[in-house]
Structure 1
Amino acid sequence: MTDSHPFITALADDAKCCEQAEQEFRATMNARVAELAQSRAFAYRRMNVMRSLFDTVSSGQERDATVARAVVMLRDRLGWREDSDARQEVLVEYEKVAQTAFDAVHPSEDNALEPDIGEALAVFEAWYAEARGKPFWVLFEHYMPETQLVDF
């Protein structure tokens, strides 16, 4: 008899609404945590790749050879052992970032304006997102299968 009383029914409805609100909040909270985790991971990947790029371009004096070495560094970092048209396209676009980084580290009298590496990187990231439909930094999430240790 107590379950059918309007007061108990109203309390049960309120409890269900609270439960639903909690579930919705948890879903949005989990999505936001995942979004923040991805942003953090991308920021660290961006920082580490750019740090390596600047280390590479700082150590070289000849622009073309140094930029080529920087492109090879990215290729190796991504684990790209074979060539493909898609990979080559990415490396050609990244070469523009490497050239801008070299110019920023080795200013010349020819360049009246200081090269904007941040803009060059943003253009590259936007190009990749447009061309591939996902952020460039997901390329660093490749799975490395465990290999068995074989003792001969």
Structure 2
Amino acid sequence: MTVTTRFLVELKSAAEAAKVAEGRFRREAAVRIAALEQERAFAFRRLNLMQAIAEAMASAESEEIAVASAFATLRTRLGWNSDSEARSEVIARFGQVVLAIFRASDKEESANDIPEALAGFERWYAETRGSPFWLVFERQMQDTPRVDF
């Protein structure tokens, strides 16, 4: 093998190694971007849901009315027009979050109870359902046929 041939083989090997390294990096970056994208989506879903629930509960004159308002908001946001055993279980568990919000409205020392209750609910949901709660918001819209008159 000539010096030139050996040199070209080395360049080819270096080029192939660079190609492999780039491909690996792109796959790792895609995985990380997808994870960050999901984190962002979940964070905004969490914010939007909790903001809507807090607003629904704000004018409630009693715990009973606050809880009913929160549950109605939760059902609306999730598109749950009917109940099932699984949905009722989710709503009942979410009740801990609602109660934490209601109880914290008057007491500053109870403010830490809200994130703890929400994290506990999210943990319970993930353990029992096998996926994050926030994926429930990714329901697919059914195709509606287009009709021209």
Is the TM value for this pair above 0.5? yes
List alignment gaps of at least 5 residues for structure 2.
none
1:132 pairs, out of 125, 129, 134, with 129
1:145 maps to: 142
Q: Give CA-to-partner distance per residue, 1:100-123, whole Å, 9 cap, x none.
A: 11111144xxxx952510111011
Structure 1: which 4+ aligned runs deviate by more than 4 Å? 149-152
Residues in 2 aligned to 1:64 and 1:100: alpha-carbon distance in whole angstroms: 13
1:114 pairs, out of 92, 107, 110, with 110
> How far is the alpha carbon of 1:65 from its aligned partner?
2.1
**TM-score, with normalisation over the residues of structure 2?**
0.90
Of 4-13 and 81-90, more deviation after overlay is shown by 4-13
Q: Superposed, which structure 2 residues align to 1:32-51 within 5 Å?
A: 32-51=32-51
Q: Which has the higher contact order (CA 8 A, sep 6+)?
A: 1
Two-structure CA RMSD over aligned residues (Å): 2.0
**TM-score, with normalisation over the residues of structure 1?**
0.88
Of 57-66 and 33-42, more deviation after overlay is shown by 57-66
List alignment gaps of at least 5 residues for structure 1.
none
| SS in structure 1 of the partner of residue 110 of structure 2 | coil
Count of residues paired in the alignment: 147
Residues in 1 aligned to 2:39 and 2:110: alpha-carbon distance in whole angstroms: 28
2:68 maps to: 68
> How far is the alpha carbon of 1:147 from its aligned partner?
2.1
> How far is the alpha carbon of 1:82 from its aligned partner?
2.3
Identical aligned pairs, as a percentage? 44
2:80 maps to: 80
Residues in 1 aligned to 2:11 and 2:147: alpha-carbon distance in whole angstroms: 65
1:94 maps to: 94
Q: Is the 8 A contact 2:42 2:134 kept in 1?
A: yes
